[in-house]
Structure 1
Amino acid sequence: MNYTWYRGIVVGVDGSQESLSALNWATLTADRHGARLTVVAVHPVPPEAGPGTSSLIEDAREQARRAARAARDRLGGWRPGGRDVEVLVLPGNAARVLAELSNNENIVVVGRRGRGAFDRALLGSTSSALAAAAPGTVAVVPAGAATDDPRRIRVGAGSVDDPDALGTAFAEADARGCPLEVVHVTGTDPISSALLDMDPVAASWHEAAAADLADRLGRWSDKYPQVTYTVVIRRGDPVANLLHGLTRYDMLVVGGRSHSAVTGRLLRSVPEAVVRGAPCPVVVVHARRHLVA
């Protein structure tokens, strides 16, 4: 039986080079999964009408239309996944509009600008807001990332496989024909880690973690027998371990739990941190997914 992981790929564009790179990644993803591609350009609307408001709205709308046309021109006659491309120009806040299009059956794709000080301080960036608060799966493609099939997919495996980051990673590795690296990080507290190293009984953490992972990996390996994978178990900071050695040619998959963007930044959640630090596309899985025939 053949399966597809996504029914639809939704990509946000604003005319920037970063958003066009996200479009490239989204187009290939639609092809790999036989999914429909929807291109969305969003223009802001002032909360209250006032002098000159109508002209500002029209300017913003026209800018969004130009972004939509640039995306359509970029695609040319390409029909990703063998389907017609839908192009939408919508009013509202970009992060909110795209989040509403994110659900269990869609993945929303956005670009991310560079990692300068201003970008790190920009609380309201669309990519960070979506990584924190979208109800479904979000892919963030940073500036400079490769947008063809990755050489390797790395997935962060938590203690509980919910949401289905592992399932997403296996499905992507199968669709793209690349190897999978499963990284499990435990013992982030340095004091607890030191005590574990000193206790010969507790020091068996590695074997216990490996046994726990084996059960969860087994069912996905049975579903995707063509996927080759390796398991890496480490102690330390999860963000540092997930980012270690990544290149622009990789893909990173992590699980996340939806919360406000402000809360995510205050808590320095793992998804928010890796989205800002990864040189490659990052897929953040918020929802438990269901394969569809």
Structure 2
Amino acid sequence: MRTPVIVVGVDGSGQSNAALRWALEESARRGARVEAVLTYFHEPVFVPATLMGLNPYGERPQRHPAQELHANVELVRASLPDAPTVTEVVEVGDAADHLIEASRHADLLVIGTRGHGRVAGAVLGGVAQKCLHGAECPVVVIPPRAATK
């Protein structure tokens, strides 16, 4: 028998942390495993040639998406007694596209929303809208107000 899979989008926001918390709680009810997916765009680094190789823009802090995801997952897991382990997935590209792709093997997709657009009267963000239209499994959208609880 296959173990059910809950995929949750995580971006470090309060809304995505609320979605992860909900997914972890739901995984206990379903006996499911949780996959946390963080996506980001890889920005090309351009340093103009200067004398002696100095960077005129100063040092830019390096982003470490896998570390960001792990820190968020551990923060949410620490708030729940007996929280299950989470599979952490980092992808480069569009969040909605990767979450829709992950929905192909998932039993449930969970996402938080900041609430910038509307679908059927509900206020949703762009990623949530795209996932609702393109996902191949049921989608749970955690509303913005859930992040403040």
- With normalisation by structure 2, the TM-score equals 0.71
Q: Is the 8 A contact 1:174 1:224 kept in 2?
A: no
Question: In the alignment, residue 195 of structure 1 is paired with which amino acid?
Answer: P
Q: What is the percentage of aligned positions where both structures have the same residue? A: 28
Structure number with the higher helix fraction is 1
Q: Flag structure 1 segments of 5+ consecutive residues without an equivalent.
A: 1-149, 188-192
Q: Deviations over 1:30-53 (max 9, x none)?
A: xxxxxxxxxxxxxxxxxxxxxxxx
1:160 aligns with 2:4: no
Instruction: State how far apart, in whole Å, the 2-side matches of 1:245 and 1:260 are.
Output: 23
Offset at residue 247 of structure 1 (A):
3.0
Distance 1:258 1:224 in 2: 30
Q: 1:259 to 1:174 in 2, by over 3 A?
A: same
Structure with the greater alpha carbon radius of gyration: 1
RMSD in angstroms over aligned alpha carbons? 3.2
Total equivalences in the alignment: 131
Q: Larger RCO: Structure 1 or Structure 2 (Cα < 8 Å, ≥ 6 residues apart)? A: 2
Select 2:136's aligned residue among 279, 283, 290. 279
SS of 2:129's partner is: helix
Residue from 65, 77, 83 that aligns with 1:209: 65
- 1:171·1:224 contact (CA, 8 Å) conserved in 2? no
Distance verdict in 2 for CA 1:217–1:203, change over 3 Å? same
| Structure 2 counterpart of 1:174 | 28
Could you report, residue by residue, the CA deviation over 1:199-228 in whole angstroms, capped at 9, with x for unpaired residues? 8x97953xx222223332223323143512
Aligned partner of 2:32: which letter? C
1:284 aligned counterpart, secondary structure? strand
Runs of 4+ deviating beyond 4 Å: 201-204
Residue from 155, 161, 185 that aligns with 2:39: 185
Distance 2:81 2:139 in 1: 21
Within 5 Å, give how 1:116-131 maps onto structure 2. Answer: none
Give 1:234 shift. Answer: 1.3
